[in-house]
Chains A and B, each alone.
Chain A
Amino acid sequence: MYAGLWRLLPGPWWLRVLLLVILAAAVLYGLFFHVFPWVSATFLPQEVTVE
């Protein structure tokens, strides 16, 4: 999987590393700001009120 991704990326090795870093940053952003908040709000109960 990751070997395939490496072959898919264009350019010399330093450009591929740069692209991978950007890709990883984008994935982390998506996880931290969208996926994880949704998982937390949807699946993890948190009760702070009396009812």
Chain B
Amino acid sequence: MVGILGEILITLGVVTLLFVAWQLWIGDVIYGAERAAQAEQQSEIWQEEYEEQVQATPQATETPTPAPADSTADPVILAQPADAQIFGIMWIPRLGPDYHVNIAGGVTRARTLDPIGIGHYPGTQMPGEMGNFAVAAHRTTWGKPFNRIAEIHVGDAIVVETPDGWYTYRFRSLEYVRPSAVEVILPVPQEVGVSANDRYLTMTSCSPMYSLAERIVGYSAFESFTPRSAGAPASLTGGVA
């Protein structure tokens, strides 16, 4: 009887240690690989859809030459996504050529942050739109998309891919705020009552890691939009300095 009790206690201890290992390491390996695979697949689907569309359009076949690789255009502005609807992929070359995570509508853990990756604050602007494209993601656990947010250098490209093309933002600064600092997702971050004067990208995550005490906020400014017809922009393919 005592032997059985001992075995049960040992088993519970092992399971607890396994949970810690999962929470800190194994889970991130599993979800990180899943996130990257999902985003890669999504990117391929959009490219295939685009190529099918080009083939189906007669006038496009008459001018098959793609525009120069560095050509930019007025950004296409997507409509606000539905909750948990994937509309974009974030690429951060600084964090590796295989850093790509899906972006979906909403910032709830249950529907977007845990199962998909990066969530878009409902009501904030969309990529390329005048104002603030504000997103959130885990910094630890669940594949931790924003784990290395503090390692991004000033001027690094943060590229948001959508079905229409690539929106290049340039990283500008980090800030640490209280969780109540909703001003960071205003059209002009931290400027109450000021109407949009530029196109920003705001990323929020937890700080310090594993803590609820503060939030880390990363700001980027819009640089250019590259339509899908022009191919992936140099900001994405050119590597990092």
**Chain A bound to chain B:** yes
- Residues on A lying within 8 angstroms of B by beta carbon are 1-2, 28, 31-33, 36-37, 39-41, 44-51
List, sorted by A's number, 20 A–B pairs whose CB atoms are closer than 8 Å. A1-B4, A28-B18, A36-B18, A36-B22, A36-B27, A40-B23, A40-B142, A44-B23, A46-B141, A47-B179, A48-B136, A48-B206, A49-B119, A49-B121, A49-B215, A50-B184, A50-B215, A50-B217, A51-B179, A51-B182
Interface residues in B, total, Cβ within 8 A: 40
Q: Which parts of B106-121 form the interface with A (CB within 8 Å)?
A: 107, 109-110, 113-114, 119, 121
Known: A31-B19, A32-B26, A48-B136. 15 other contacts (CB 8 A): A1-B3, A36-B23, A36-B27, A40-B23, A41-B110, A46-B140, A46-B212, A47-B179, A48-B138, A48-B205, A49-B107, A49-B215, A50-B185, A51-B180, A51-B182
Most A CB atoms within 10 A — which of B19, B113, B184? Answer: B19
Report chain A residues within 8 Å CB of B139: 48
Query: By the criterion CB–CB under 8 Å, are B109 and A32 in contact?
Result: no
* A-B interface, 7 closest residue pairs, ranked by CB to CB distance from nearest: A1-B7, A49-B136, A36-B22, A48-B205, A49-B107, A48-B136, A1-B4
Report chain B residues within 8 Å CB of A40: 23, 27, 141-142
With A and B bound together, what is the CA distance between A51 and B184 in angstroms? 10
Q: Which residue of A lies closest to B134 (CB)?
A: A50
B137 on the interface (CB 8 Å rule)?
yes
Nearest CB in chain A: distance from B147 CB, A: 11
With A and B bound together, what is the CA distance between A7 and B165 in angstroms? 62
With A and B bound together, what is the CA distance between A37 and B184 in angstroms? 30
B82 on the interface (CB 8 Å rule)?
no
Nearest CB in chain A: distance from B119 CB, A: 8
